[in-house]
Amino acid sequence: MRTQVGIVGAGPAGLMLSHLLHLRGVESVVIDLRTREDIEETIKAGVLEQGTVDLMNQTGVGDRMMRDGFVHHGINLAFSGTIHRVDLYELSSGRAVTVYPQHEVLKDLIARRVADGGDVRFGVSDTTVEGIDGDQPVVRFVHEGQRQQLECDFVAGCDGSQTYTRFLIPEGTIRTDFFRQYPFAWFGILAEAPPSSDELIYAHSDRGFALISTRSPSVQRLYFQCDPATNTDDWSADRIWEEIQARVGTAGATIKTGKIFAKGVLQFRSFVCEPMQYGRLYLAGDSAHTVPPTGAKGLNLAVADVHALDRALGAFYDAKDTGLLEAYTQTVLKRVWRAQHFSWWMTSMLHRFSEATDFDLRRQIAELEMVTSTPSASRVLAENYTGLPLT
């Protein structure tokens, strides 16, 4: 088999890249270890930046998102007994976020690739990639019991945080020490309940952080800061609701409860590798970087990476121009580090650190006061939350 771009990983980065390349007439094959059902059903985050929403609409995969997603023009920060609204729309000159789950984005992209005759192989095994330092790399894998050999011009490593492709970059040419582990995690639930709030609430409290998000009029997504070693089985539904209510209640919010049908613990890490390319291999999304979930940047960063990679590959195929490919790492890392800073900042401002003194808590409150009452500071939050323009 031969294709132009071999894409390892059918997550947001791999599928969006394949879709964008198809629209410019560049062929690709996407492979993934997971089954289609697994990819379409795994619950992840759910907040799309304006640029992600615009890209989905401009490329014809936004219909369901526009129908079923919820456009939010603001978010709430709860602290010191009060809820403060940040008007994202007003402060970012008309930008907003859309709450639409990541696995629904993946369903839309898969359906579109299939409808466009795209080659997406699920449930593959034994993937290897060779020859990234030459100009005809080869991806080998087993699909439906058959050994396959895929010759390509380029390989896109879109295989998430459990990446295989990043390890193809020789030691000594890549830095992987940009890493931070946080001393807490999020306990996340999905519940059959009506919304507790029209817009998201990010709550700072003496008991730690809590986040009230949503999925639909009848399904809600809520998170609260917990110990990374938390076992979800130790938490009864009553205990979960009491804990969330205790964290948001002091600010005046009342949680609407319902049947909890999913529970999980999300680990908190920041990571970036530099560079994000080597020879004919280009990394995109979580294979190259991870952000803590506060601020919901993960999926959006993956989309931004492949938006740049698609343009760079386009310049190569249209005009044999390698300039954008050579500059890929430099181009995308600017945004990656901005998102790293934003996610770290939101995390640090809102969470309770075990070693925090009363000084630290008062300082956090002062920062939250500034962010919600000083227009220039609110604007920094709004512009970053709704997302920088795609490059």
- Residues within the interface to ligand DHB (CB under 6 A): 45-47, 200, 211, 213, 221, 293-296
- For residue 66, the minimal CB distance to ligand DHB (Å) is 18
Of the two residues 296 and 349, which places its CB atom closer to ligand DHB in the complex? 296
Q: Give the active site residue among 19, 22, 182, 202.
A: 202
Give the residue from 226, 322, 333, 343 showing the smallest Cα distance to 283. 333
Of the two residues 7 and 211, which places its CB atom closer to ligand DHB in the complex? 211
Tell me whether residue 164 is one of the annotated catalytic residues. Answer: no
Tell me whether residue 385 is one of the annotated catalytic residues. Answer: yes
Tell me whether residue 22 is one of the annotated catalytic residues. Answer: no
Tell me whether residue 297 is one of the annotated catalytic residues. Answer: yes
Of the two residues 3 and 384, which places its CB atom closer to ligand DHB in the complex? 384
- For residue 206, the minimal CB distance to ligand DHB (Å) is 21
- For residue 71, the minimal CB distance to ligand DHB (Å) is 14
Q: Give the active site residue among 19, 22, 297, 307.
A: 297
User: Token digits for 18?
Assistant: 């394949």
Tell me whether residue 100 is one of the annotated catalytic residues. Answer: no
- Tell me how far apart the alpha carbons of residues 16 and 45 are, in angstroms, rounded to a whole number: 17
Of the two residues 6 and 69, which places its CB atom closer to ligand DHB in the complex? 69
- For residue 380, the minimal CB distance to ligand DHB (Å) is 16
Of the two residues 98 and 329, which places its CB atom closer to ligand DHB in the complex? 98
Give the residue from 57, 53, 55, 44 showing the smallest Cα distance to 72. 53
Q: In the bound complex, which residue of the shown chain has the CB atom lying closest to ligand DHB?
A: 213
Give the pairing type, strands 277-278 and 281-283. antiparallel
- For residue 384, the minimal CB distance to ligand DHB (Å) is 12
Q: Known catalytic residues?
A: 72, 202, 293, 297, 385
